[in-house]
Structure 1
Amino acid sequence: MNPLLRVPFEIPFDQIEVAHIVPAVRQLLGEAQANIDAIANSTEPRSFANTMAALDEAGVNLENAMAVVRHLECVSNTPELREAIQTIDPEVSAFYSAIPLNDKLWKAIQGVPETGLDAVQKRFLTKQVDAFRRHGAELEAPAKARLTEIDVALQGLCTKFSQNVLDATNAYELIVEEEAKLAGLPENAKQAARASAEAKAKSGWRFTLQAPSYLPVLTYLDDAEIRRQMWQAYMSRATSGEYDNRDLMRQILTLRREKAHLLGYFTFADFVLADRMAQRGVIAQEFVGGLELATRDKFGEEHSALEAFAGKTLEPWDISYYAEKQREKLYAFDEEALRPYFAVGPVVDGMFRLCERLFGIEVQHRPDAKVYEPSVNYYEIFSDGRMIGAFYADWFPRESKRGGAWMEPVRTGGPQPDGSFAPHLGVICGNMTPPMADKPALLTHREVETIFHEFGHLLHHCLSEVPIRSLSGTNVPWDFVELPSQIMENWCWERESLDFFARHYESGETIPEELFQKMVRARQYRAASAQMRQLGFATVDLTLHTEFDPKVEVDLLDFANAVLQRFAVTQLPKDYGMILGFTHLFSGPVGYAAGYYSYKWAEVLDADAFSRFKAEGVLNAATGREYRAKILAKGNSEEARDLFRGFMGRDPDQAALLQRNGLA
């Protein structure tokens, strides 16, 4: 009766209870281990089917259950759920860590003959041999035991790090009692703040550190003191008290470094990047450093111009505020003027229609499906009359939900041995501006880009046609995985594509041409500053995972802030703690650790790849079908460089990105 033991395709969220998690996961761990043992101990002649294909499917029920559990942890976090996850995390981590350390299994894989295998099967075999070797298959027994200890410890530390960020975010609120202090704030943000206060049975206007509440304050509010309070609260999350992440961060970095050394790598960055496009930490650093050099002069010019405009030396909490004022003056463009054209329903529906035209799919809403929250929607994706995927869309913030936006595969399908096609299942989440009592959710243009971004990941997962699960969909190098997501953002800037989804929520009219032209002219505004911000994150990430030495007594916050200061135009305060809330780097044993540069790496790819759409037509169905066939459908069945060459006919060129950002 435990629904997690065999999770059906349509997840029965109404039946899943926290009490199901521990017994289900333990039973599934036992089943998965039995499958591994059966492969390892088999006396039959080794073949791809009885060894590699069996290995690919050995833990599928465990993976399906854990995908649901991890998703609930992200969107419906409760103390009881945390306790259950903390109980099973060490056991799950130990299981996966032990797979490449299993001597019999390692010998079994090495015994699989390549004769008769197709190209995808050969690639899977080769990559598994490399992965086993890279994850310790050839280590001595004591080193293998220590590696397992490290993996288990990392999972627990990273889970706690993420929980601390969520709790620290939720622990803060700012109540403003006087409406006069809200001068400058858009009416939409004021209404949201009033509704937030009423939901907590409080008077006045309530502001939190969730993005839809925090960002309008920093961007529009005239009161500099309130901006300062909000900025300092956000940048000091998880820096003190019961949610302090300092020690967790040090332990995580120390264990990652030890793991890399155990496996024969000089740095954790080298270990992580060995099977990615960059291949080594130094190559990623050179890439980031090259973009920094190309950006720094314009970056300085932008800030000098902003301070001249403001007529004063700016504090960190002044930057967004005066930047918005400067943009309004330079381009007569107010970002808020776009919001009425981006009601979430028409945006999402129009995005579906756009993708139907480009990629030959059909997306259908299923209002009768079971969901875990009333605001969540469930959709199915069809191609040539066959359902190839489905997904849950969860767009609005809740206190039990982590911040940011993301896509997660929940179930990986694909072509089956009997010729059928098993559909994929995923989830896309965000923390967008929620609806008001009398208005639908009206989004910023950046929020629209975020929806397109996450749907790009979802398409990469659901349009995969790779028959081997481990090579399917988004299981690609992380410096390639952002190409399908980031390229989707380009359709948020083109007149033809905007008309698919940008409609005034009351009149149904498209964006007026004058407003559209203002938006396009303002696109490159402070592009160097935006790029330097991302390069700063990438640099501090790579520096922490190449240069940090736990034997050297150093305050990690000071160490990280010294790097980040290079990319800041104002003096960072002593207690600046952005790094302690950086869940991209520290909420998982690997995650984006030593890989944050991937956003910029893939941005080069996406700007270059979209240049083909620009040349052949942004709504050109033939180009869209080719992109689907040569990128989205291929997963990790070929080298990422070869996939890019297959679509573009050449290697990537940075010029398209620099030109798009006005830096060339």
Structure 2
Amino acid sequence: MHPFLDESFHVRWSTLVPEAVEPDIRHALEIAKANLEAVCEVTPAEATYETTFAAFEKANDSLNLGWGRLQHLDSVCDEPAQRAALNAMLPEVSEHYAAIPLNPRLWAVLKAFGESPAAAALPPVEKRFVEETMLDFAQSGADLPPDQKDRVAAVEAELSKLTKQYSEHVLDATNAWDLVLTDESKLAGLPASAKAAALANATAKGVATEEAPAWRFTLQMPSMFPLMQHLDDDGIRRQVWEASVKVASEGEHDNTSLVWQILELRREKAALLGHRHFADLTLQRRMARNGETALKFTEDLHDRILPVVHAEYGALCDYKSRMTGTTVDGLQPWEFAYWSEKRRQEEYDLDDEALRPYFPVDRVMGGMFDLCTKLFGITINPREAAYFDRGSNSQPSTLDSQLPEVWHPEVKFYDLLDAKSGEHLGSFYADWHPRESKRGGAWMNCLFTGHPGGNGAAREPHLGLIIGNMTPPVGDQPALLTHSEVETIFHEFGHLLHGLLSDVSVRSLAGTNVPWDFVELPSQIMENFCWDRQSLDLFARHYQTGEAIPDLLFDRMIAARNYLGAITFMRQLALGKLDLEMHIHLDRYAGRDLDEVDREVLSTYRVPLKTDAPSMARRFNHLFSSPTGYAAGYYSYKWAEVLDADAFTRFQENGVIDPGTGAAFREHILSKGNSAPVDELYRRFMGRDAALEPLLVRSGLSESQPQMVDGRWEMEDEKQEAGV
């Protein structure tokens, strides 16, 4: 009757049709409002944890379920009717969520119990949930006068609308451009894999035939990136670069005004809630605590590596000068990846294309599962899954009710079990290849947060998903990934483990519901295993011969790991710097030309290329595609790199694939969610606070190098600098 609200573990995606959106979401809103009203009516005599905070936490379950599924489909299967249905309901749903912490009757009930002796005597996890919820309400404006509450709610609703428009503009502008080449001679330098993918793309689009071949390129990374790295034709590279940096910068998809409107609304919200700026509002309960700390962290790292950035860029310009016999005083942006790759191949005798055959996607996934079995004591099994067109009513009556259904034929489904007990801990979908209806990038989400069971209750498994836009298969050849794409899969799987291995009884504290400068620790620590020989041999096998990566090729890969490492490091710092500057110092920049602001803020953060690009802010989904998202929080990627580089030293001390270390990471980090302060969880795993030096060493930016002493890794300077 209400397919979006069906609580079956296996989602019937084919029934989630646009015409069901309005009735289902309205019904879920009615349920949520009734549940919240029931909490509001709890008298002091009736007030217990179960009747107040536990009931409050469950009040939105149906709405969270249905709206979460709709938002997911919007990300992976965008189409006009569905987009219109979502946008029609967005104001009501946004208003509902925004009004919750501003409801005076609800706040009165929760506050009264939260300040009672009964709350103080709760078990640790429930007590933390009460404390965190009280802070959520207080910091969202629960104690504001009515007129200011109304304005906070209005601002939040407007942010939901504008950020949705922003993300639609990025997707539509990306899909609006393509390049079709019919002259094969123009493809000189392009790897065979990229050439075959472009031919397949053109054929699928109907612009190529066997008699009249053509090659189609888009702004999706698996199509664009090999072209920018390898294509000899400078003019075509320029054409593609110009199209990519103008995404959401022109015409009906121009996001310029939306950027400023979103920033202004965030500033107003922060002011209403008593903060100097949006960064302080969002970071007050994260590890950085405030915007100035995050900005100083970013600027200190910038100052450390700036000389190395200049040296790397100078060496690259010198290389082009030597290869062309001309004086080179800088590079154009459409030349940078091309000459970087040329120099890397010469200096390290390493071509990414030589590694691709060792990374067929299914083998990568299977080997990653084997690694996690050894480390974390889990078993991951692929499941047969069914696909049906949405609304087709074509499901056979004999379909096993336990057979999972997927939203696209390419999607895979897996079960995750505890290896020792055989208990079903969770399941997940994996969707790895680009489609025009799918937004760019890679991400993980939890569709359903289960319960660990206990006290007579059965365990409820979690349900998650991991999404990417990796190199697709071509013809009969499997999808052969770049090493960078392999890292992305490991990264997203780290997030997934954080969700599916969660053992927290309160959903709001489970899994990835942690401060955003900690949430990247599980994901980024997994990337380290992509560089370790022992773990690579589990998944890096030639798709035709089954052979491991030859020692010589592996040695070259490791040697080239930090090639242009400072420039890569600085690019992440630049994104974090722009984010923090615009949210902290908006008064300084509001009303000015966005590109001028971008150049001013990042003058020493950007490689001094000869042509400036339009500001990344117009297509920066992390910052502007949701009311908060990574806004004032992009620095957290680097913050978490400090944590993951430091935490990985414990794995290195014991042989990397060490079950004891993996079990400790599962126990103290992956299973705990936000059930305790995250800095405390980190100390439980490491026995101390994090140190900065391991990140600098790993990035090749420190003179201090790790040494193997008596079977363990040690730093030359054991007095490691305290970091975060």
| TM-score under structure 2 length normalisation | 0.90
1:557–1:579 CA contact under 8 A, matched in 2? no
Aligned counterparts of 1:93 and 1:562: Cα–Cα separation in 2: 35
1:247 paired residue number: 257
The 3-state SS of whatever aligns with 2:46 is coil
Note if contact 1:159-1:588 (Cα within 8 Å) is conserved in structure 2: yes
Q: CA deviation at 1:7?
A: 3.4
After superposition, give the CA deviation of every residue in 1:315-359 in whole Å (9 maximum; x if it has no partner): 011111111111111111111110000000100011011101110
CA contact (8 A) 2:222 2:471 kept: yes
Tell whether the 8 Å contact from 2:567 to 2:607 is kept in structure 1 after alignment.
no
Query: Which residue pairs with 1:367 in the alignment?
Result: 384
- Whether contact under 8 Å (2:413, 2:430) holds in the other structure is yes
Match of 1:15 in 2: 15
Q: Which residue of 2 aligns with 1:73?
A: 74
Q: Deviations over 1:95-118 (max 9, x none)?
A: 111111011111111122324301
Give CA deviations for 1:55-76 in whole Å, capped at 9, x if unaligned: 1111111111111101100000
Query: 1:155, 1:237 → 2: CA distance?
Result: 21
Does 40-49 or 542-551 show the bigger shift? 542-551
Quick one: which amino acid aligns to residue 9 of structure 1? F
Given the superposition, is the C-alpha separation of residues 193 and 552 from structure 1 closer, same or farther in structure 2, using an over 3 Å criterion? closer
Selected match of 1:318 from 330, 335, 338: 335
- Structure 1, unaligned runs of 5 or more: none
Partner of 1:29: 29
User: 1: CA distance between counterparts of 2:22 and 2:7?
Assistant: 15
Instruction: Give the secondary structure class of the aligned counterpart of 2:478.
Output: coil
- Hey, what does 1:262 align to over in structure 2? 272
Aligned to 2:422: 385
Displacement of 1:575 in angstroms is 5.8
The aligned counterpart of 1:431 is 469
Contact 2:576 2:634 in 1 (8 A): yes
Displacement after TM superposition at 1:225 (Å):
0.8
Q: 1:395 maps to what in 2?
A: 432
Q: What does 1:60-459 correspond to in 2, within 5 Å? A: 60-112=61-113, 113=116, 114-203=119-208, 204-311=214-321, 312=328, 313-368=330-385, 369-383=404-418, 384-416=421-453, 418-459=456-497
Q: 1:73 aligns to what SS in structure 2?
A: helix
Cα drift, residue 558 of structure 1: 2.1
Secondary structure in 2 aligned to 1:379? strand
Q: Given residue 134 of structure 1, which amino acid in structure 2 is its aligned partner?
A: Q
Cα drift, residue 438 of structure 1: 2.5
The one-letter code matched in structure 1 to 2:382 is H
Letter in 2 for 1:101: L
What CA distance in whole angstroms lies between the structure 2 residues aligned with 1:191 and 1:306?
30
Structure 2 CA distance for partners of 1:502 and 1:551, relative to 1, 3 Å = closer
Q: CA deviation at 1:45?
A: 3.0
Q: Gapped runs of 5+ residues in structure 2?
A: 209-213, 322-327, 386-403, 703-724
Distance 1:492 1:505 in 2: 17
Q: Distance in 1 between matches of 2:643 and 2:300?
A: 16
RMSD: 1.2
State yes or no: 1:621 paired with 2:685. Answer: no
1:659 has 2:692 as partner: no
Q: How far is the alpha carbon of 1:414 from its aligned partner?
A: 2.1
Return the letter of the residue paired with 1:276: R
- Who is 1:516 aligned against? 554
Distance 1:82 1:520 in 2: 45
**Match of residue 599 from structure 1:** 637
Alpha-carbon shift at residue 550 of structure 1 (Å) = 8.8
Contact 1:7 1:65 in 2 (8 A): no
Q: Secondary structure at the match of 1:189?
A: helix
Secondary structure at the residue paired with 1:117? coil
Alpha-carbon contact 2:302-2:605 (below 8 Å) kept: no
Matching residue's letter, 2:288: A
1:466 equivalenced with 2:504 (yes/no): yes
> Hey, what's the Cα distance between the residues in 2 that align with 1:172 and 1:643?
47
* 1:574 to partner: Cα distance: 5.9
In 2, Cα distance between equivalents of 1:572 and 1:52: 58
1:236–1:578 contact (8 Å) kept in structure 2: no
Deviations 1:544-595, CA, capped at 9 Å, x for gaps: 1011139953122321232234322234746614220110100000000000
Q: Aligned partners of 2:559 and 2:342: how far apart in 1?
A: 16
Equivalent in the alignment of 2:397: none
For residues 308 and 608 of structure 1, the distance between their equivalents in structure 2, rounded to whole angstroms, comes to 35
In the alignment, what sits opposite 2:530? Answer: 492
Question: Corresponding residue for 2:605?
Answer: 567
| CA offsets 1:250-279 (integer angstroms, 9 cap, x no match) | 111110000000000000000000110001
Distance in 1 between residues matched to 2:600 and 2:160, nearest whole Å: 28
Q: Distance in 2 between matches of 1:631 and 1:553?
A: 44
Q: Which amino acid aligns with 2:573?
A: L
43-52 or 317-326: bigger deviation: 43-52
Structure 2 vs 1, CA of residues 565 and 195 (structure 1 numbering), >3 Å: closer, same or farther?
A: farther
Q: TM-score, normalised by structure 1?
A: 0.99
CA contact (8 A) 1:269 1:594 kept: yes
Percent identity over the alignment is 48
